[in-house]
Every structure is written in C-alpha cells, then in structure tokens.
Amino acid sequence: MTVTLGFGKRKLETVTVYEFRSLPLLDEVLEFFETLGVRTEVKRSFGFDTEADACVYVSSPGIASRALSLREKGKDPIVVCVTPVREVICLSGNHWGGDELCTALAGWIGGEYVGRTAAEAEGRPSVEDVLDALGLDPSLFKDEIVALSRALREGIAVRGAPPGAVRYLRDLGVKVVPEDEAPAVIDVERGEVIVGEALRGGDGPGKTRYDD
C-alpha cells in the first residue's frame, strides 16, 4: 500500500525503524505502520537508511541526530524521533510529509507532536505550502526557498494565479502585494519564481522556470 503525505509527489511505502533499548513503545510504533499497510523494517544498529521513505528512531533526539546523513531537502527520507516519554519530533522533512506523519503517529501512541518549524510556531505557511497551493512543485525551486522564505515576511506578488488562489493565500496568512513592492514574484502561468537581480531586470541568479 502507498500512503501519500504532504505534497502529491511524497509517497510513504517503506519505513525503517531504529530501536536500541527494547522499549515497549516500539510495538505501538510498528502497529501504527502496520495499520497503514506500509512496509517496515526494524534495525537495532546505528544507521540511516537513505533508500527508505522515512526513518523512525525510537530513542532520544541526541541518538537520532547523530545517525543522520542528510543530503538534499525534498529527497532525503522523512526523519522522525519518538522519545521514551512519547514525544514525537520531526527532525527532517516537516513540509514534505513529516508534519502529517508525526501528527498521526503521536495520536496513535497517545503522545505529543513537538518541535515544529519556525513557520508553524509563527502561525504562517511555509514556502512549500505556498508553492503547493499555487499548483507548483516545491522540489523544483530549491534554490529559491531561502529567498522566498524571507520574502514571505514582507509580501510576495503572484502573476497568473488561478481564480481564488490569491484569496486563498491571504486566508492562509500570506501577504500578497503589488509587484513594485514585492521582493519576490511567483509567476504561476510560466512556472517561474523570480527573486533578486532577476526581479529587477538584471542577469544575475534568482530566476527558475520549469515546463510541464
């Protein structure tokens, strides 16, 4: 069975669970994934499975963090830590399915999802949320993520948005402003994100386009 989390391109088919102390909590974690129909492998050695869709550490955050070998946002496995006191922490991949996974897992084990991102703590959507709402694949704009994140604090401009999209963004808490006031422009029709020198008409970096 394939479970879809976060954006449409993030699938959850295989999970590797790491557990080092034979905690009773492990059985509950495994039952959760069994209920989802997700293939699960348990390892009792220190490691990081780059081929898995998610790595779940039933351990302290310190142990889990020392095992990570992250490479690229959006391609790395979702990384979740489940502590002995039933706190569920997303160490990587929050906006790529980690939030949904941690929320569901915490509910299943009667725990609490902690350690949310700065965007969540401030009650604002992430860059990935905004691009996804406009029908754009966030993984294609990795080079603009940081600049867009900064721009969201001041406001962004949107070109060629579907009917109702701008209103929906504003309902999410996104500040949408005219182009001459915006540090970044998202051109939905052309599939472009324009920031920096490119926004001002220069030839510098900051413009990405993809074609379907």
Q: Is the pLDDT of residue 210 over 50?
A: no
Q: Which residues contact 171 (CB under 8 A, 6 or more apart)?
A: none
Percentage of the chain lying above the pLDDT 90 cut: 35
Backbone φ and ψ of 7, nearest 5°: -75, 160
Characterize 68-97 residue by residue with b for buried, 16 or more Cβ atoms within 10 angstroms of its Cβ, and e for exposed.
eeeeeebebbbbbbbbeeebbbbbbbbbbb
pLDDT for residue 45: 85
- Work out whether the CA dihedral 62, 67, 70, 74 comes out positive or negative: negative
Q: Name the pLDDT band for 77 (thresholds 50, 70, 90).
A: very high
pLDDT for residue 120: 64
Highest mean pLDDT among 72-81, 174-183, 191-200: 174-183
**Least confident span in 71-85, 130-144, 150-164:** 130-144
Instruction: Tokens 């996974």: give the residue.
Output: 101
Highest mean pLDDT among 39-43, 121-125, 142-146: 39-43
Q: Name the pLDDT band for 129 (thresholds 50, 70, 90).
A: confident
Rounded average pLDDT over 25-49: 93
pLDDT for residue 202: 46
Instruction: Tokens 């350690």: give the residue.
Output: 115
Instruction: Tokens 């701008």: give the residue.
Output: 166
